[in-house]
A = this chain, B = another copy of it.
């Protein structure tokens, strides 16, 4: 693990950060979907044109995975992250296509110290994924756990 830059204290409600980019390719869309989501709209460029999606697009789970990679590269790998209990909301707003360049906006919505484990805290974050034209592709809302820099301090 690299040096830890971000603890629970470093995520401040109201704060916004933007990061990315992730270049989406046809090859990666098909490779991911062939293993995990082999619906034709994700695996077959020609057949996808005849589906309700009108052409090849990424599995929604692939969009989640690509977003996670951007989150890792921008802050999670340098943080005291201790996992996530899950998401409260996850909306796929528009298909992700080959050629899309995805980027993210992170908004810190709320935070609190864990009652059962006061050495860590919960941070509720909204991540909005857009492409290079500003089209919103996905919105994730959920909580992440981080270790506290000063576990005993008053909040």
Q: What's the Cα separation between A85 and B83 when bound, in Å?
A: 25
A37 touching B83 by the CB < 8 A rule? no
Integer count of this chain's copies in the complex = 2
Asked if A136 is at the interface (CB within 8 A of a chain B CB), the reply is no
A65 CA / B72 CA spacing, docked (Å): 18
Chain A interface, >50% SS class: mixed
Name the distance in Å between A133's Cβ and chain B's nearest Cβ. Answer: 21
Chain B hits for A62, CB < 8 A: 65
> Which residues does chain B contribute within 8 Å of A84, judged by CB atoms?
60, 92
Interface residue? A23 (CB, 8 A): no
Within 8 A of B (CB), among A39-80: 39-40, 47, 52-53, 59-62, 64-66, 68-69, 72, 76-77
Q: A25 interface residue, CB < 8 Å from B? A: no
Whether B82 lies near A86 (C-beta < 8 A) is: no
Interface residue from B69, B85, B90 paired with A36 (Cβ < 8 Å): B69
